[in-house]
Amino acid sequence: MVSIKGSHHKLRRGGQSIIVPHPKKDLPIGTALAIAKQAGWNVSDKP
């Protein structure tokens, strides 16, 4: 973990950084998919 600002955690692996919100409620699916895309994960939004 690089830093925390409010409810956002900044993570870094290698040369890539991503911002992950840490809300009190569940994350919307679009936000979760955007985080996965930034992380370079191959994730489908279809079950």
CA distances from 23 to 10, 35, 46 (A): 14, 14, 24
Three-state SS for 6? coil
Supply the pLDDT for residue 45: 59
User: Confidence band (pLDDT; 50, 70, 90) for 46?
Assistant: low
Q: With a threshold of 0.85, does the pTM exceed it?
A: no
pLDDT over 90, % of the chain: 0
Residue 41 has pLDDT above 80, yes or no: yes
In a domain, 44, yes or no: no
| Residue 46 resides in a domain | no
Q: Do residues 21 and 31 touch, judged by C-beta distance below 8 A?
A: yes
pLDDT at 10 over 70: yes
Give the percent of the chain with pLDDT over 70.
Answer: 94
Does 26 fall in a domain?
yes
Residue 45 lies in a domain: no
Cα separation, 26 vs 1, in Å, equals 21
Residue 14 resides in a domain:
yes
Q: Which domain holds residue 13?
A: 3-39
Q: Which stretches within 1-47 are classed as H helix?
A: 29-39
Structurally, the chain folds into a number of domains equal to 1
